[in-house]
Structure 1
């Protein structure tokens, strides 16, 4: 009987068909499940059907989150104290005395802000007024000690005197205000009030308007242009100024660094501008300027007539030149970089397939090469920021690296400029400026670049502080390391 049962089972056609079918299913099921799971993950990864936020919002939030991970650069930044403004005027008075000049004249502007703490929103009511509102600083020599200090006066329309006193200009006591009525000559009123018995020589600020200078010249004054030791007062930064420059410039760089890994293909130049501005704006930095250029748009240093609609891809060389204000001081830095390469697809990872080759590998290689050359040019320029070195020598050092690398004529602007409360201040670093000697305390941008028409542009810009001895200090944080770590 046992034999018959075995034979029946063996002869049953259902049993015959079931056995091989079951064996095939056991072997195939894991692979089918693996492929189906991989496909589902791939579609979820690439299409993101459940993503509710826009690409812009997603990238912006990523950028802000990265930025706020460490705001170390704000730690030592403090507003300039009232005593420092008085000290600046005393330094100005000493420079005027050495220069044989009777006084320095300025109207609301950046220099007025430097010596009197009147920021742009506060001075706007005065500009472009046709009525003269002037600040005059004179050297006053103590006959006993020979010490030179500042005597500061203001020329104001009579009806505006009260508002001038309300501006909060730092002073040892009551402001010395010389007032003039609407039917008076303000310049002769100034001469009678301060220099009644002499033809005073007045140095005028570089920002003062021409009609004011002509008014002074035609009413008993002799005016001379800004220069020499007087100009050097503002060029040489105090420790408090250096900390503010460090904070705003490093903060701007860190804003760019926080944003870069979040950027995705498909964003436009205008969108990247908005993302960066909103990111650094979260800590109160005030927008000054922001230039974002992709590839061929960056072949002109400031972008020409780019509309901001060029679209980002993984191969795009991005150039960002940005400046913001913080507590009255400016940033002006630049980074060139590539966004993160595309992640290897999950399907290719699972099945160990090679990535698709870049069709423009030669173009990509040239971008990397140029990026390195520009960084080397900046490195060589940085070595020339030494006391008594010439402004020209810094520019020439960077230009030589670029020329020797075979890109002569592609570095089309000066190497840099001074920076402080104004982004562009003297001295200016160009290959013809052999007369200006560098001093400890001066701060400069160093921004070499290579610009290849119809292809791309690369520029690196950091802030250098000239030291009493030794190499200059970079006060805009860590320098760029690679196109993926700018």
Structure 2
């Protein structure tokens, strides 16, 4: 239902296929012998010099000079983390499939219908995420070195069937030009606009560079920004898109859980991030973001430290990680305690440090719960943020929640609409997908953030796309 001006011979489906990585580790009697079970705590592949300094629930681990962490230790940590993930059978991948050529066509058809509804003649986009969404060409795929100064534009021009009044599909049309021609006037004088009895109205993507927008305006076009149903055409996800988002986000979360089982004292933030990235790759996903922060490092929500802080029994571990599958993004966050710190019994005496951490963990979880309840059709984006912010403020930590509660997610990890308390004009629609990620950040102490992905489902509770939410600091 659209006429698309796309000057490329790339197959629309060419870059969308991926494959699972084979298992690359082997479990032998030798590695089995390295499992140490002490007081019900499993630490895979490592030997500890264990000292229980008291009869309390606080336990300390110490190393003799010969018990330093070696490269072999690190390799075994990675092997067990990967094996744990692969041994799940990767069920989260079963209902995900790559985007097809037909999917791209259907997207442009929906866009054409939205353009007609907005009384707009064309939608114009240059290589980037939106071009990737409608035409499968990203900026690096078009020009790997840097964005081109020569405009390369895809123009989606709806053509109406005179009988039904509905847009319909036509073959690709290319508007060529010589190097010395003005690209914008060339487009304006092409036969694309034959029969348009007004100044042509072009809607440009939000990623469009300013000099291109000004060039189109100077050539006589009426240029407007992204709005209304045209913006929603990408924000509202199809069943295939939801399937991929569920797979990549559930898989990313499962990788974190399985890796956590293998943690041991002395690991650094950087070492954990490296192993988690490789676990994602082993399951067929490609990591693009991995933030691992311990205690006070996590009081800066997205890090900025050297990654060399060392894991200890009462360390609060914050992991914010994202990967790609079939071009779609995961973006999840968990805050948890290491597996070698035993979960205390109810009413047990806790250290002040641990007691405060557990209190804040619960507050952030409740804030996330309340934000999720607001993810319904026709509620405002602002209301989702405010619901979480009210919980944290009433608990006395309002000034420590320093960012919005969430954002849209799809082929970009961060895309519109954005869930901030100032976004009072955007209404949520069925099919939109969002993060919910409230946090509390106590400078020089620790930070807590929980992040899950949710699908708006009318007036019902939103659908979780991360498998399940955290169950507690010992079960993320």
Q: Does TM-score exceed 0.5, indicating one fold?
A: yes
What residue in structure 1 maps to residue 85 of structure 2? 67
TM-aligned CA distance change 1:475 to 1:416, over 3 Å: same
TM-aligned CA distance change 1:58 to 1:181, over 3 Å: same
What residue in structure 2 maps to residue 366 of structure 1? 356
* 1:329-408 mapped onto 2 (5 Å cutoff): 329-342=328-341, 361-408=351-398
TM-aligned CA distance change 1:53 to 1:454, over 3 Å: closer
Please state which structure has a larger fraction of its residues in helix: 1
CA deviations 1:345-373 (Å, max 9, x no partner) are xxxxxxxxxxxxx9981011100111111
What residue in structure 2 maps to residue 95 of structure 1? 114
State the TM-score, normalized to the length of structure 1. Answer: 0.80
Q: Does the Cα contact within 8 Å between 2:453 and 2:465 map onto a contact in 1?
A: yes
The number of residues matched between the two structures is 410
* TM-superposed deviation, 1:211: 1.1
* 1:8-27 mapped onto 2 (5 Å cutoff): none
- 5+ unaligned residues in a row in structure 2: which ranges? 1-46, 52-62
Alignment of 1:184 with 2:174, yes or no, is no
SS at match of 1:213: helix
TM-aligned CA distance change 1:191 to 1:278, over 3 Å: same
Q: Does the Cα contact within 8 Å between 2:314 and 2:341 map onto a contact in 1?
A: no
Q: Does the Cα contact within 8 Å between 2:140 and 2:146 map onto a contact in 1?
A: no
- 5+ unaligned residues in a row in structure 1: which ranges? 1-40, 152-172, 345-357
What residue in structure 2 maps to residue 19 of structure 1? none
* 1:42-441 mapped onto 2 (5 Å cutoff): 54-70=72-88, 71-119=90-138, 121-125=140-144, 127-149=146-168, 173=171, 175-193=172-190, 194-195=192-193, 198-303=198-303, 305-342=304-341, 361-441=351-431
Q: CA RMSD in A?
A: 2.3
TM-aligned CA distance change 1:186 to 1:49, over 3 Å: closer
TM-aligned CA distance change 1:142 to 1:370, over 3 Å: same
CA deviations 1:182-216 (Å, max 9, x no partner) are 11111111111122664211000011111111111
What residue in structure 2 maps to residue 442 of structure 1? 432
State the TM-score, normalized to the length of structure 2. Answer: 0.82
TM-aligned CA distance change 1:51 to 1:146, over 3 Å: closer
TM-aligned CA distance change 1:315 to 1:224, over 3 Å: same
Query: Higher relative contact order by CA 8 Å / sep ≥ 6: 1 or 2?
Result: 2
Q: Does the Cα contact within 8 Å between 1:119 and 1:328 map onto a contact in 2?
A: no
What residue in structure 1 maps to residue 447 of structure 2? 457
| Distance in 1 of aligned mates of 2:461 and 2:68 | 54
Q: Does the Cα contact within 8 Å between 2:48 and 2:67 map onto a contact in 1?
A: no
